[in-house]
Every structure is written in structure tokens, then in C-alpha cells.
């Protein structure tokens, strides 16, 4: 499946597991007479979602829900690693940290936090490969002041050098924490090989040296390039009245203007195809052996059908009763195994990972190679497994919309990576994926495509010194 926001996906999976038997029973009972599949009755086109574009180019999305007297305000920006060349590697993440500091209306972070408490607001942000988002949740009575608060933060950062240096240390501390994990070095090596022409455009955490040397001027240039209305969206979700809220948002954010030549989404170079297989050995203090086969997967806007097929196929393989799990894990060959796909506009990566006991790495790799060839066998998965995968993915998608924050973040992600229509039609398009589409995805992007094979294991033992006589000293 497409793992976008792990904090919301995991509870969604849990809830889906609880709801699925009820949905299967209810849908089968009501739809059998009409010859419908269960997923056909879960389709939704998000009619309640209001989407428009302001005169300055800012996208505005409104979602009404009166379950609780709260409202979430999200600003999504088409920024993140994909806009960063080698001179700006990691600065989208540093910028995210600086967002919650002083601006033209708030002198410093202390005043910022004081105002947050006055508004009864929770806040956070997130940087990923193809979107940066900032979100406030506050009582709906404070919507207008919340919108103004967001406007000042996004349009008027001051990047005080003292605050910048302080926050730089926070980001470097995060970097230190990542570097302490062997998985960090493993992932970095894979991405450098898989996206060798433009590795910085997949590297969210960035370059330590560039973070250490980032200046106020560079941060202001990031703001001028990407934090413009034509490259941004505001999403307001929760206890709102759409017509009044639209008027209020228009009043506040219409003041946000940018040079017409800059007020467009960024143009970035495309990652060239991987031309040949690449093999990597990554030595880290690691008890077991981790093997990963990695490919360039489908890109949204280029091969949308394959993105839906990838979600369904990955989900089928993730189930405990799948042939994938039986062959690789239940057999005792591997300690664990997974196949994942991450939906992106600029090449979504596919990763097939297997964990093996030390000393069994080669045996595990051969088993993984053999499993890939089984992917297109007619009895590898059943029609019932396909239907269950569709339904579970649909339930997860619906569950993401249950909270105003979860829905707003989901909207922001899809607006940046693809379009709102991709989300709007997601369940419908899952229902259109057939076995032939899954086979096309597997053959094109996995079985017949170059890949990066990476193996992480403990460093080889240091050989003893040998004397001229050929004996160890």
C-alpha cells in the first residue's frame, strides 16, 4: 500500500481490521442481489469537499465536519527534497523548523508560543520528499485569528540569526540520532545508487555540512522560490461553514502576492532511468543480514494505473496468509520480508526487503530472487485476496478522512504529489485494477527492470597481521 503518514496509517490498519468483517458481511448482504463487489459500495467522490483557486494562485480546500468544535488549518507547499539541488540539500527541513519562530507580526519564538497558548492551539509540521506541510488545530471560534496567524508565519518569516543558529542545533541533533542507526547508512547508500544523478532530490534529511553553514540569505531565497501562493495550498477542515470560511480565507490570503514569474510550481529535473544493476555491500554493526532489492517504480501522472496496481499487490503480499509470507518467512528462510511502493510524482521507489540470520545471506538472496519470478504465476494469489486488498485499502482511505487533521494532511499530500482528483477517484480506480494490470506492473517495474541490490551485514573480521613467514604475529 502507499505508506504516506505512518502515524495515521497504522491506526487505520487496526481499525480496518476491526471493521472489515462487518463491512464484508454488510456489503455482501446488500450488494449480492445487485451483483456488486463490496468495494463498489464504498465508493465516494468527496462531493462535500470544496476546492477553488484564489486570484493569486493559492489553492483553497474546505472540508466541513461538525463532530467536534475544532478546526484544522494546513498550509501545504510543493517543496521538500525534490526541489533541492546540492547547494540546498536539507534546507526544506531546516525551513520547516524555522516556520514556528518569529515573523513580521511575532517578534520571536517566545512570543509565538505565548500566542499559541492563548489560541488553545496545537501545531506541527512535516517535511517529505515532495511536500512540506504546517498544521494548526484550534477551537473553531478562533478560526479567523488562526488564519491570520498562519498567514503571518508563511508570508513574513524573519529568520533571526540567533533563532536560526538555535534551531540548526536541533536539526543537527536529529541528524546525529539518525546517524546512530545502521538503517540510516543503509538507506542513504541505496538512495545514492538508485537516484545517482540527483541524490539530493530524494534526501529529506539533507547534508550535515549544508545545514551547518545555512545562512539567513539562503533561507530567504527558499522563501522567495517556493513559499508563494501559486505553489501552495491552504486546507481548512473541521467545524466550519464553507461559504463564510471561503470568504474569510480569501480576505486574509488574497493579500499574499508574488512576482508572476516566480508564482508557479517548481520545475525540477527528472531522475534518469536506472541503466544497469548495481550491487552494494554496506558494513554496519548489525546482528543479522538485511537484503534489499530496489527499483524505480511508476510515477504519478505518467503511469497512474501502475500506482494502483502497486498498492494492491504490496497489500496482498503483506498479509500473513500470503504465499509471499509462506515461502519466505513461514518456511524459516527469512526472519521477515516485505515489498513496498511509495507513490510519488518523481519516481516512486519499490523496495523488496528480507532479513536473514547471519551466515544465511546468500541463501536468503537466492530465495528472494526465486520469489520474484513467482510473482506472475497464476496461482500466486487468488481473486479473493485481490478483492480483500481492494476493500482494506479503501477502508484505510476512508478512515484517514475521519479526523480533520488526518484528512487535511492527506489532502495536502495528494495535492502536492499528484492532484486532489487522484484522491477523489482512488477507491474507484482500485476497483478497476485487474490481474492483467498487476502483471504489467510486476513485469515492467520489477521482473524486467534494472535494480539496486543492497546487503547490510556486520563488518568482516579484521585479519591478523601476517609475518614474512606467513604466520600470524
Beta-ladder partners of 337: 354
CB 156 within 8 A of CB 120: no
With beta carbons less than 8 A apart as the criterion, state whether 387 and 28 touch.
Answer: no
Rounded distance between C-alpha atoms, residue 437 and residue 430, angstroms: 11
Q: Please state, as a whole number, how many other Cβ atoms lie within 10 Å of the Cβ of residue 362.
A: 12
Helices 383-399 and 304-318 sit at what angle, rounded to 10 degrees?
100
Q: 209-240 pLDDT, tens per residue?
A: 999 999 999 999 999 999 999 999 999 999 99
Q: Delineate the domains of the chain, giving CATH numbers in brackets.
A: 6-20+38-45+273-457 (3.30.830.10), 50-253 (3.30.830.10)
- Per-block mean pLDDT, blocks of 10 residues, the chain (473 long): 33 36 43 54 66 97 93 97 97 96 93 95 96 97 97 96 96 96 96 97 96 97 96 96 96 93 91 97 95 98 97 97 97 97 98 96 96 98 95 87 88 96 92 96 98 95 38 36
Question: Are the C-beta atoms of residues 112 and 102 closer than 8 Å to each other?
Answer: yes
Shortest CA distance to 226 belongs to which of 198, 254, 266, 259? 266
The reported pLDDT for the residue numbered 22 is: 39
Count of Cβ atoms closer than 10 Å to residue 267 Cβ: 6
- Euclidean distance between CA atoms 142 and 13, whole angstroms: 33
417, 423, 412, 419: which is closest to 124 by C-alpha? 412
- CA–CA separation, 311 vs 288, rounded Å? 29
Q: How many residues does the chain have?
A: 473
In whole angstroms, what is the distance from residue 227 CA to residue 79 CA? 8
Contact present, 345 and 300 (Cβ < 8 Å):
yes
φ, ψ of residue 22 to 5 degrees: the values are -70, -40
**Partners of residue 137 on adjacent β-strands:** 72, 122
Tally of CB atoms within 10 A around 257:
13
The two beta strands, 452-457 and 278-283, are parallel
Residue in this structure with the C-alpha cell 519564538, named with its chain if needed: 109
| DSSP SS3 for 36 | coil
The order of strands in the sheet holding 289-296 is 278-283, 452-457, 289-296, 349-356, 336-341
Residue that is written with C-alpha cell 471561503 in the block:
246
Are 205 and 44 in contact by the 8 Å Cβ rule? The answer is no
Instruction: Determine the Cα–Cα distance for residues 373 and 118; give it in Å rounded to an integer.
Output: 60
- CA nearest neighbour of 295 among 195, 436, 189: 195
Contact indicator for 195, 133 with CB cutoff of 8 Å: no
Number of helices and strands (H, E) in the chain?
Answer: 17, 11
- Cβ atoms of 350 and 294 closer than 8 Å: yes
Diameter over CA atoms, the chain: 89
Cell numbers representing residue 68 in the block: 467536534
* Beta strand segments in 140-267, E: 232-238
Contacts for 200 with CB less than 8 Å, ≥ 6 apart = 81, 84, 85, 86, 88, 89, 206, 207
Residues 390, 435: Cα–Cα separation, whole Å: 12
d(CA 336, CA 321) in angstroms, rounded, equals: 14
* Geometric angle at alpha carbon 168, from 119 and 226, rounded to 5°: 70
How many C-beta neighbours within 10 Å does residue 15 have? 15
Query: DSSP label at 203?
Result: -
Amino acid at each position: 500500500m502507499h505508506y504516506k503518514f505512518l502515524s495515521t496509517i497504522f491506526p487505520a490498519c487496526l481499525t480496518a481490521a476491526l471493521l472489515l468483517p462487518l463491512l464484508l458481511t454488510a456489503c455482501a448482504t446488500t450488494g449480492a442481489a445487485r451483483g456488486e463487489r463490496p468495494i463498489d459500495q464504498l465508493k465516494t467522490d468527496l462531493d462535500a469537499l470544496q476546492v477553488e483557486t484564489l486570484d493569486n494562485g493559492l489553492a483553497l480546500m474546505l472540508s466541513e465536519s461538525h463532530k467536534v468544535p475544532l478546526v484544522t488549518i494546513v498550509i501545504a507547499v510543493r517543496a521538500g527534497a525534490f526541489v533541492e539541488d546540492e547547494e540546498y540539500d536539507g534546507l526544506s527541513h531546516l525551513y520547516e523548523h524555522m516556520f514556528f519562530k518569529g515573523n513580521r507580526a511575532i517578534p520571536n519564538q517566545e512570543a509565538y508560543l505565548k500566542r499559541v497558548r492563548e489560541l488553545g492551539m496545537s501545531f506541527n509540521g512535516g517535511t517529505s520528499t515532495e511536500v512540506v506541510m504546517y498544521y494548526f488545530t484550534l477551537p473553531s471560534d478562533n478560526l479567523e485569528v488562526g488564519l491570520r496567524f498562519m498567514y503571518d508565519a508563511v508570508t513574513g518569516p524573519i529568520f533571526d540569526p540567533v533563532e536560526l543558529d538555535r534551531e540548526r542545533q536541533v536539526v543537527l541533533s536529529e541528524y546525529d540520532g539518525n546517524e546512530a542507526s545502521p538503517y540510516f547508512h543503509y538507506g542513504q547508500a541505496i538512495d545514492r545508487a538508485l537516484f545517482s544523478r540527483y541524490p539530493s532530490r530524494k534526501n529529506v534529511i539533507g547534508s550535515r555540512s549544508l545545514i551547518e553553514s545555512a545562512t539567513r540569505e539562503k533561507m530567504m531565497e527558499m522563501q522567495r522560490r517556493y513559499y508563494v501562493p501559486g505553489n501552495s495550498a491552504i486546507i481548512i477542515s473541521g467545524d466550519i461553514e464553507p461559504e463564510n470560511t471561503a470568504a474569510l480565507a480569501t480576505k486574509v490570503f488574497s493579500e499574499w502576492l508574488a512576482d508572476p514569474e516566480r508564482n508557479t510550481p517548481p520545475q525540477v529535473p527528472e531522475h534518469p532511468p536506472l541503466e544497469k544493476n548495481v550491487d552494494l555491500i554496506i558494513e554496519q554493526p548489525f546482528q543479522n543480514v538485511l537484503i534489499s532489492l530496489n527499483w524505480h517504480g511508476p510515477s504519478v501522472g505518467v503511469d497512474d494505473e501502475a500506482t494502483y496496481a502497486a498498492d494492491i499487490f504490496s497489500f496482498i503480499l503483506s498479509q500473513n496468509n500470503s504465499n509471499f509470507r509462506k515461502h519466505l518467512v513461514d518456511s524459516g528462510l527469512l526472519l521477515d520480508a516485505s515489498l513496498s511502493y511509495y507513490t510519488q510524482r518523481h519516481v516512486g521507489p519499490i523496495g523488496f526487503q528480507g532479513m536473514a540470520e547471519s551466515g544465511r545471506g546468500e541463501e536468503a538472496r537466492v530465495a528472494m530472487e526465486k520469489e520474484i519470478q513467482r510473482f506472475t504465476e497464476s496461482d500466486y494469489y487468488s481473486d479473493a485476496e485481490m478483492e480483500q486488498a481492494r476493500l482494506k485499502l479503501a477502508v484505510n482511505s476512508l478512515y484517514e478522512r475521519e479526523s480533520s487533521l488526518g484528512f487535511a494532511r492527506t489532502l495536502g499530500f495528494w495535492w502536492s504529489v499528484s492532484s486532489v482528483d487522484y484522491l477523489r477517484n482512488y477507491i474507484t480506480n482500485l476497483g478497476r485494477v485487474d490481474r492483467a494490470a498487476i502483471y504489467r506492473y510486476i513485469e515492467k517495474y520489477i521482473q524486467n527492470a534494472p535494480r539496486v541490490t543492497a546487503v547490510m551485514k556486520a563488518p568482516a573480521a579484521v585479519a591478523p597481521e601476517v609475518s614474512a613467514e606467513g604466520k600470524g604475529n
